[in-house]
Amino acid sequence: MAVYDINRILVPDAPPEYEDHTRDVHYVPAPCQVACPVGTDAPSYIAYIWEKDYERAFEAITATNPFSSICGRVCDAPCEPACRRTDSDGPVQIRNLKRFVMDELGADYRPPAAPVTRAESVAIVGAGPAGLVAAHDLCVAGYSVHVYEMTDRLGGMMIWGIPAFRLPPGIIDEDVERLKQRCPGLEVHLNTALGRDLSLEELKQRHDAVLLTIGAWWGKPMGIPGEEDERIVDGVSFLRRVNAGERPEMPETVVVVGGGDVAMDACRVAKRLPGCRHVKVVYRRGPDEIPARKIELHHALKEEVEFIYNTQQVEVLPHGNQLALRCVKTGLGEPDEDGRRRPVPLEGSEHDILCGTVIAAVGQRGICEELDRAGMMQPDRVRTEWESMRTADPRVFAAGDGAFGGSTIVMAMHHGQRAAYYVRHFLEGEGEPLPYRTPYRTRRVPVAQDLMWEKFPIQEPVFVGLGDKPAEFPEIELTYNLDTARAEAARCYRCDAETGSADYSVLHREDIFSMARTDPGDGRKLKAMLERRLRLRDNPFPEARPAGLDDLVFLPANLSRLVIDPYREACRISWRLGERLDLELPFFVAGFDHCNREIREPVDRALAAVGAAYLGERRAGGEAPWLQLCTPGRDAPDPDASAVVYRVGERWHPMPTARANPAQILGLHVASHRGLDEAIAYAVERGFELLVVDGTGAPRREWPELAGAPDLSLLRETIAILRRLRKEETIDIAWFGGVRSGTDAAKLVGLGVNAIGHGVAVALAMGGEIADGVMRFAPDRSEEEREEAVRNILKANAGEASMMARCAGKTRLHNIEPEDLRAVTRATASATGIPLAGTKAA
């Protein structure tokens, strides 16, 4: 299976030992992540950059990629063309963002060492990206690993093939040092070549398994007459010389043949070397077909490299003291096996390009006489089976360019991971493990919040190009600064994140994307999608889900009720509490008794301003009406209070109650089912005007609403008792518990409540934060700001409540009835007595 499966439908299981989240319905790996051969969780690290949490970003980047610093500079970034923003205003610059994080943290970070826990050891031949990543994974799994490298350095093509202006040597060292730190079981044997210094047999004797990652180290010849001239060099050898530190003098004009990454590096290296003035790249197809990464091409053009397209070399001839590269022009013919159109020579188009040297970058090959003798080569790479990464020898595995032909660093790393997986299962004696699949995980980071996210253009890093001293190979571009990095991070669509709909989960959205990209004749894919969609969803309302306000909905007015315009038409929401106290908003606030003055007084002033009351044992301040909460036998009614509300304790017992003056409302505070009958009967008998029903279940603790969802059945029972007593209309009900919005308030009105209490909602509005089960207030706001926030939240909730009323066709909030509500769960229907939507009232 291809790693980059654009169908995005057929996702096989990842092997169980990997952390993989693809079975989570709230997560589908984003296209960028799927495009990455090592499955980098790009959306998460991008989001962490926004949050300035570089350490977590670093973790997300390096979790599947031991060469993150290198990739931050020179990865060919298949993630970027896969980015969904590519089609609108350009992809998120995922690679540059990685570089930003690695530049911030990469140099100093030392990962924890993974101890050796296994007796077996593995030999790896070749210290390129495939070999070292395999070494890393095997070391992390507890094996000892010996890496045999024929040169004097670790890194393979990363170090010998990529010029320093793109990848400064210090960057490679960062990754290598980190890898060594992580892998104490890694032993490196430099200057040790297979066939020269030791044989495959010796390796097999010393180790339990051998992995060949020999690379494609030699350039392919162009295969044209005159090629043997010493002024013709191959691209990889040329780069190797330069990366070894040489700065050879170049002729005035250099021609590079080829259009791949080696050609791009070679032409740009030549451009920087002493003596060189002109560099021409000869490529046999056109600019649309050239395989070089767009950014490399772009940079080469900026550095004034000349590109000669649709031109194919046919011969090299001496021309005075120069060379003449004889070429023909080409047209595009039929597509060949890789889907690209074949260049076709045009007759009579022969012409010469004069130059001092030709660098041939037309492909690479692996050469190993030792393996050739053993019959393991086919002919320029190790014959290897992709499904198991095995060679003909059952104890010998192979990966990377040397096994599958020239590719990219990140693909070689994927090979290394695959190979490590199969080697491990071989060593553990498991013959046929589940096929390897790149694991995808998410770190569930909130989306970036910049207001400009949808307007930010691509943030281009500063391009320096050749610089003042080209031969010193200064780095070509600068990294982002904090601002540009965050601006770029904010651009991410966050395809990984569920953005807010139960019906359209991320998974389902992906299915729709897929349907929209499936040919109507592709029956196999259509069937696979259908199968996936026929999977049954879990019950969104499991048995344990408690009854709650969330599961009530309003019935709108349509034809059977007169529609009221919620934007314009008036809706009365005021309430005369207990026939005595006029509240402009039918709200009260409770639960701030224990707060200090800086918190209580803004609440009080805001309540006075909006026309609502405070319920508590002491006044919030001096302005708003006060509903005094009294403990019987302890507190005396205060003449300043608008109401006196007696608490019923854990158990009902008759209590002395009195009002300080006849204008006061007399009320009872009930908080439990126990003794509710007697308490209500008592209140009704005594002519109380108010019942405060506290549904928090924890009336004695601070911030009782933080205990969880309120118990709505207490309200239902209260009303049932009043109805039995035929006193429903004679006593007001005030509710306290879990009111978060005007919608909650309106629903409670529908359930029979007259005045609605706010506690935590007001505290949150004032800037309170929930911590350790209580609200905490930081001294970050003025009293005026807190007061304004309280006014605003109460006004907003009043507006919401009246909007609900009007949607239900009411011009008065208190006209909402049970009949205007429906439940969407059985639990809520049963707790409230409201019928389930679509069913008839009992």
Find the binding residues for another protein in span 530-559 (CB under 8 A): 530-542, 545, 550, 552-559
Backbone dihedral angles phi then psi of residue 819, each to the nearest 5 degrees: -65, -20
Q: Is 745 an interacting residue with respect to another protein (CB under 8 A)?
A: no
Question: Among candidates 670, 801, 693, which has minimal Cα distance to 757?
Answer: 693
Contact 71, 65 (CB under 8 A): yes
The mark string for 25-54 relative to another protein (x by CB under 8 A, - otherwise) is -x----------------------------
Cβ at position 825, least distance to another protein in Å: 6
Length of the chain: 842
Are 626 and 620 in contact by the 8 Å Cβ rule? The answer is yes
Contact between 451 and another protein by CB under 8 A: the answer reads yes
Q: Does 781 bind another protein (CB under 8 A)?
A: no
Residues 725-744 that bind another protein (CB under 8 A): 738, 740-743
722 in contact with another protein (CB under 8 A): no
Going 305 to 310 to 314 to 319, the CA torsion angle's sign is negative
* Binding of another protein by 682 (CB under 8 A): no
Phi and psi at residue 552, to the nearest 5° = -115, 145
Q: Which stretch binds another protein (CB under 8 A): 66-74, 216-224, 498-506, 572-580?
A: 498-506
- CA atoms of 841 and 451, how far apart (whole Å): 47
Cβ contacts of residue 371 below 8 Å, gap of 6+?
194, 195, 200, 212, 214, 377, 382
733: Cβ–Cβ under 8 A, 6 or more apart, which residues? 690, 691, 693, 715, 718, 719, 752, 753, 754, 755
- Of 391 and 505, which CB lies nearer to another protein in the complex structure? 505
Q: Does 504 bind another protein (CB under 8 A)?
A: yes
770 belongs to the binding site for another protein (CB under 8 A):
yes
Q: What is the closest distance, in whole angstroms, from the C-beta atom of residue 79 to another protein in the complex?
A: 17
Q: Does 528 bind another protein (CB under 8 A)?
A: yes
Least CB distance to another protein at residue 807 (A): 3
Angle at alpha carbon of residue 239, lines to 238 and 245, rounded to 5°: 100
Distance CA 123, CA 207 (A): 6
Binding mask 458-497 for another protein (x = CB under 8 A): -----------------------------------xxx-x
464's tokens: 């320096």
Among 226, 258, 470, 809, binds another protein (CB under 8 A): 809
Do the Cβ atoms of 732 and 756 come closer than 8 Å?
A: no
Output 55 or 387, the one with its CB closest to another protein.
387
Query: Which of helix, strand or coil describes residue 379?
Result: coil
Site for another protein in 71-90 (CB under 8 A): 84-85, 87-89
Per CB under 8 A, 180 contacts another protein: no
CA distance 217 to 236: 7
Q: Is 605 one of the binding residues for another protein (CB under 8 A)?
A: no
| 16 binds another protein, rule: CB under 8 A | no
DSSP letter string over 267-286? HHHHHHSTT--EEEEE-SS-
Minimum CB separation of residue 577 from another protein in Å reads 23
Task: Give bridge partners of residue 583 from the DSSP assignment.
Answer: 575
* Shortest spacing between CB 199 and another protein, in angstroms: 38
Q: How far is CA 204 from the centre of its chain?
A: 44
Tokens 């031991």 -> residue:
66
- Residue 526 near another protein by CB under 8 A: yes
Q: Is residue 435 a contact point for another protein (CB under 8 A)?
A: yes
Give the relative orientation of helices 597-610 and 783-807 as an angle to the nearest 10 degrees: 40
The least CB distance from residue 343 to another protein, in Å, is: 29
Identify which of residues 249 and 538 has a Cβ nearer to another protein in the complex.
538
When asked if residue 666 is in the footprint of another protein (CB under 8 A), the reply is no
Q: Among residues 463 and 504, whose Cβ is nearest to another protein?
A: 504
User: Which CB, 561 or 686, lies closer to another protein?
Assistant: 561
User: What are the tokens at 257?
Assistant: 């043949």
Q: Does 507 bind another protein (CB under 8 A)?
A: no
Report if residue 765 touches another protein, rule: CB under 8 A. yes
Is 826 a binding residue for another protein by CB under 8 A? The answer is yes
Interaction of residue 748 with another protein, rule CB under 8 A: no
